[in-house]
Amino acid sequence: MTAIETRGLSKIYGKKAAVSELDLAIQAGEFFALLGLNGAGKTTTIRMLTCLTRPTGGDALILGRSVIREPEAVRKCANISPQETAVAPNLTVRENLMLIAQIYGMSRAQAARRTDEITQQLSLDEIVKSRAKTLSGGWQRRLSLAMALITQPKVLYLDEPTLGLDILARRELWRAMEDLKGRVTVVLTTHYLEEAEALADRIGIMANGRLKAVGTAAEIKSAARSDNFEDAFLALAQGGGTV
């Protein structure tokens, strides 16, 4: 089943085409990474898919619902874990999770049950009573992921989730993300190529608002005639030929 389908999806700001004629299909349960140099159009794409920005052309269907005609339905099935999540700094991890669950309409009992589940799933037990403001960067990101997952979205967008983390915290977050594979449709944007290579089922490379390549890391390397993913990425991300 297709979870995300874009048809000629475009966003033009003045004379600048931030995203041009994007045609992409992502399957349910797929872990998809969107890569590109600064300004390639990744964030604009995610903003359109999450109904934060209205496309100037084309459309995107999220589980069959149009981002233009049915934004409310789209918002219900998808969630985003942005770089900076609005955690309440003076609340504990548990209180933050309970708060989000209740904002999304769960009763106190339901929220408590979901909070316990997600705490276990993301191994947050040791920090559950800590105030959010006292957490390290790695734990903050893990809390952010938990807050995005608590409502059990079918589609999850992860916008540079490991930016600025040390290698240990990054690896720990990778493990948490790996756990989502097959269960949630994930679209990840990252500048860490090894992260995309390690986690993604397929990778899309954008340059100048256009999709230059889509495939597994191996397919992208082979199409770019390179043994090295970074070289293949650079060849495509700098506006080279379409694969």
Residue 58 Cβ vs ligand ATP, minimum distance, rounded to whole Å: 16
Both structure tokens of 109: 């009992």
Binders of ligand ATP among residues 10 to 29 (CB under 6 A) are 13, 16, 18
> Binding of ligand ATP at residue 93 (CB under 6 A)?
no
Amino acid in the structure at residue 141: R
| Burial label, 167 (beta-carbon count in 10 A; 0-12, 13-18, 19+) | exposed
Residue 17 Cβ vs ligand ATP, minimum distance, rounded to whole Å: 8
As a residue count, the chain comes to 243
What is the Cα–Cα distance from 181 to 203, expressed in whole angstroms?
14
Instruction: For ligand ATP, give the closer residue by CB, 43 or 144.
Output: 43
What is the Cα–Cα distance from 82 to 161, expressed in whole angstroms?
7
Query: Backbone phi, then psi, for 141, in 5-degree steps?
Result: -70, -35
Instruction: For ligand ATP, give the closer residue by CB, 53 or 151.
Output: 53
Instruction: For ligand ATP, give the closer residue by CB, 54 or 69.
Output: 54
Instruction: For ligand ATP, give the closer residue by CB, 10 or 85.
Output: 10
Residue 36 Cβ vs ligand ATP, minimum distance, rounded to whole Å: 5
Binders of ligand ATP among residues 25 to 64 (CB under 6 A) are 36, 38-44
Residue 88 Cβ vs ligand ATP, minimum distance, rounded to whole Å: 26
Q: How many CB atoms lie within 10 A of CB 105?
A: 9
Instruction: For ligand ATP, give the closer residue by CB, 16 or 225.
Output: 16
The residues near 77 (Cβ < 8 Å, ≥ 6 apart) are 62, 63, 65, 153, 154, 155
Instruction: For ligand ATP, give the closer residue by CB, 12 or 91.
Output: 12
Binders of ligand ATP among residues 153 to 212 (CB under 6 A) are none
Angle between helices 108-121 and 137-149 (to 10 degrees): 130
Residue 160 Cβ vs ligand ATP, minimum distance, rounded to whole Å: 8
What is the Cα–Cα distance from 139 to 161, expressed in whole angstroms?
12
Residue 217 Cβ vs ligand ATP, minimum distance, rounded to whole Å: 19
Residue 26 Cβ vs ligand ATP, minimum distance, rounded to whole Å: 17
Instruction: For ligand ATP, give the closer residue by CB, 23 or 178.
Output: 23
What is the Cα–Cα distance from 99 to 120, expressed in whole angstroms?
18
* Residue ranges in contact with ligand ATP by CB under 6 A: 13, 16, 18, 36, 38-44
